[in-house]
Amino acid sequence: MKQIALDNQSRTIRRLRAKLTTERRESAATKERLETKVFSLEKNLQIQRCDNHSLRNTVTLCHTDIDGRISQLVEAKREHKTNQVALEASHKTIAGLTEIGLCMSKKVIWSVIISCKLASKRPKIRSKSNTLSSRPW
């Protein structure tokens, strides 16, 4: 009986050792898979950090570009306003000069008309030299 009990114990010990060896192999394989997964995740995290950094740089560049364009638009608007004011001043000047020119034209025309009327009303003076000679000098 003792021998049977010892054989049973030895079989149990062998079975337990085999089970332990199998579990150790499975544990080593699981550990290796987990290490591979951790390495892969760390690599992905590093790539994402680099992507985030480059994305941050890209966003910064975009913001800088947008700020530059906004300042260009503000400058263009300011220049447009200045040009608009200068254009309005030119229009007013042209309108004023046109009005002055029209007034001057009217004055010249009226002075010509008046001088023509006055000339027609003046009596013609005849001198003896005009009657004797046909030459005007």
- Secondary structure of the chain in HEC code, one letter for each residue: CHHHHHHHHHHHHHHHHHHHHHHHHHHHHHHHHHHHHHHHHHHHHHHHHHHHHHHHHHHHHHHHHHHHHHHHHHHHHHHHHHHHHHHHHHHHHHHHHHHHHHHHHHHHHHHHHHHHHHHHHCCCCCCHHHHHCCCCC
**pLDDT tens per residue, range 32-90:** 999 999 999 999 999 888 888 888 888 899 999 999 999 999 999 999 999 898 888 88
The ranges assigned to domains in the chain are: 2-109
Model confidence, pTM:
0.41
